[in-house]
Amino acid sequence: MVFNTKSSRWLQLPTSLQRSKNLLEKIERADLKLSVIGLGRVGLPLSVAFVNCGISVIGVDSNASYVSNIRNRRAPFSENRFNDLLGKALASGKLTVTTKSGEAVRASDIIIVTVGTPVTERHNVDYSQIREVLSVLVQGGLEGKALGFRSTLGPGTTEELIIPYLQESTGLKVGRDFFLAVCPERILEGKAIDELHDLPEIVGGADEASKKIFSALFKKLNPEKRIRFLSTTGAELAKLFTNVYRYTNFALANEFGIWAEMYQQDAPEIIRAANFGYPRSNIPLPGFAGGPCLAKDGLFLDNSITFSSLISAAWKLNEAMPQHVADSIKRALGRTLYSKKIGVLGVAYKAGIDDVRLSPALKLVNILTEQGALVEVHDPYVRNKTVSIDRLVRNKDCIILAVNHPEFSKYKAKISQAKPKLVYDVWGMFDRVDFKNSKYMGFGRGS
Amino acid sequence: MVFNTKSSRWLQLPTSLQRSKNLLEKIERADLKLSVIGLGRVGLPLSVAFVNCGISVIGVDSNASYVSNIRNRRAPFSENRFNDLLGKALASGKLTVTTKSGEAVRASDIIIVTVGTPVTERHNVDYSQIREVLSVLVQGGLEGKALGFRSTLGPGTTEELIIPYLQESTGLKVGRDFFLAVCPERILEGKAIDELHDLPEIVGGADEASKKIFSALFKKLNPEKRIRFLSTTGAELAKLFTNVYRYTNFALANEFGIWAEMYQQDAPEIIRAANFGYPRSNIPLPGFAGGPCLAKDGLFLDNSITFSSLISAAWKLNEAMPQHVADSIKRALGRTLYSKKIGVLGVAYKAGIDDVRLSPALKLVNILTEQGALVEVHDPYVRNKTVSIDRLVRNKDCIILAVNHPEFSKYKAKISQAKPKLVYDVWGMFDRVDFKNSKYMGFGRGS
Alpha helices in A171-309 (DSSP H): 192-198, 208-219, 232-262, 267-275, 294-302
Element (H, E) at A29: none
CATH class of A286-442: alpha beta
Q: Print the SS3 string covering chain B.
A: CCCCCCCCCCCCCCCHHHHHHHHHHHHHCCCCEEEEECCCCCHHHHHHHHHHCCCEEEEECCCHHHHHHHHCCCCCCCCCCHHHHHHHHHHCCCEEEECCHHHHHHHCCEEEECCCCCECCCCCECCHHHHHHHHHHCCCCCCCCEEEECCCCCCCHHHHHHHHHHHHHHCCCECCCEEEEECCCCCCCCCHHHHHHHCCEEEEECCHHHHHHHHHHHHCCCCCCCEEEECHHHHHHHHHHHHHHHHHHHHHHHHHHHHHHHCCCCHHHHHHHHHCCCCCCCCCCCCCCCCCCHHHHHHHHHCCCCCCCHHHHHHHHHHHHHHHHHHHHHHHHCCCCCCCEEEEECCCCCCCCCCCCCCHHHHHHHHHHHCCCEEEEECCCCCCCCCCHHHHHCCCCEEEECCCCHHHHHHHHHHHHHCCCEEEECCCCCCHHHCCCCEEEECCCCC
Instruction: For residue B21, give the nearest of B213, B151, B189, B201 by alpha carbon.
Output: B213
CA distance B350 to chain A (A): 16
What is the pLDDT, as a whole number, of residue B1? Answer: 42
Identify the active-site residue in A26, A145, A183, A293. Answer: A293
B16-231: CATH topology: Rossmann fold (3.40.50)
State residue B158's pLDDT score: 97
Q: Is the Cα torsion angle B293, B295, B298, B299 positive or negative in sign?
A: negative
Query: Searching chain A, which residue's CA lies closest to the CA of residue B284?
Result: A245
pLDDT at residue B78, rounded to an integer:
82
Percent of chain A with pLDDT over 90: 85
pLDDT for res A9: 53
Poorest-pLDDT segment among A102-111, A174-183, B6-15, B306-315? B6-15
- A232, A263, A285, A324: best to mutate for the B interface, most B CBs within 10 A: A263
Per-residue pLDDT, averaged over A366-384, amounts to 95
Which residues from chain B sit within 8 angstroms of residue A242, using beta carbons? 274, 278, 280-281, 283
Task: Judge: A265–B200 Cβ closer than 8 Å, yes or no.
Answer: no
- Say yes or no to pLDDT of A37 above 70: yes
* Domain boundaries for CATH 3.40.50.720 within chain B: 16-231, 290-442
Q: Is the pLDDT of residue A180 over 60?
A: yes
Say whether pLDDT at A425 is over 90.
Answer: yes
Residue in chain A nearest B305 by alpha carbon: A259
Q: How far is A233 from chain B (nearest CA, A)?
A: 7
User: Could you read off the pLDDT of B79-118 as tens digits, one per residue?
Assistant: 888 889 999 999 999 999 999 999 999 999 999 999 999 9
The pLDDT assigned to B384 comes to: 83
Q: Mean of the pLDDT values across residues A48-58?
A: 96
Intervals of CATH 3.40.50.720 along chain A: 16-230, 286-442
- Residue A121 confidence (pLDDT) above 50: yes
The 10s digit of each residue's pLDDT in A292-347 is 989 999 999 988 788 889 999 999 999 999 999 999 999 999 989 999 999 999 99
The verdict on a CB contact (< 8 Å) between A234 and B314 is no
Q: Which of B262, B283, B304 comes nearest A241 by C-beta? A: B283
From chain A, the residues in CB contact with B255 under 8 A are: 309-311
Cβ atoms B415, B399 nearer than 8 A: yes
| Pairing of β A110-113 and β A33-37 | parallel
CA-CA distance, A203 to A220, in Å (whole number)? 14
Q: What is the pLDDT of residues A224-249, one digit of tens each?
A: 999 999 999 999 999 999 999 999 99
Of B233, B269, B280, the CB nearest to A263: B233
Which CATH code fits A16-230? 3.40.50.720
d(CA A131, CA A136): 9
- State yes or no: is A239 an active-site residue: yes
Tell whether the model's pLDDT for residue A203 goes beyond 80: yes
Compute the average pLDDT of residues A416-426: 97
Using CB atoms, which residue from A266, A270, A278 is nearest to B186? A278
Smallest Cβ–Cβ distance between B199 and the set A230, A234, A277 belongs to: A277
Substitution target from B185, B237, B271, B276 for chain A, most A beta carbons within 10 A: B237
Are B241 and A271 inside 8 Å of each other by CB? yes
pLDDT at A395 over 50: yes
Res A270 pLDDT > 50 = yes
**Residues of chain B below pLDDT 50:** 1-3
Closest Cα to residue B34, out of B148, B127, B118, B131? B148
Mean pLDDT estimate for chain A: 93
State the Cα–Cα distance between residues A159 and A174, nearest whole angstrom: 11
B239 catalytic, yes or no? yes
- Read off the amino acid at residue A60: V
Confidence of residue A17 (pLDDT cuts 50, 70, 90): confident
A58 Cα to chain B: minimum distance (Å): 29
Question: Domain B290-442 belongs to what architecture?
Answer: 3-Layer(aba) Sandwich (3.40)
Determine the distance in angstroms separating the CA of B32 from the nearest CA of chain A, rounded to an integer: 29
CA pair distance B114, B59, nearest whole angstrom:
10
Instruction: Yes or no: say if B226 and A274 are a contact pair by the CB < 8 Å rule.
Output: no
Q: Identify which of A199, A230, A246 has the shortest CB distance to residue B270.
A: A230
* pLDDT beyond 50 at A1: no
Q: Which residue in A153, A189, A245 has the most chain B C-beta atoms within 10 A of its own C-beta, making it the best mutation to test that interface?
A: A245
pLDDT band at A80 (very low <50, low <70, confident <90, very high): confident
Each residue's pLDDT tens digit, B190-245:
888 899 999 999 999 999 999 999 999 999 999 999 999 999 999 999 999 999 99
SS3 A339: coil
Bridge partners for B401 per DSSP: B345, B425
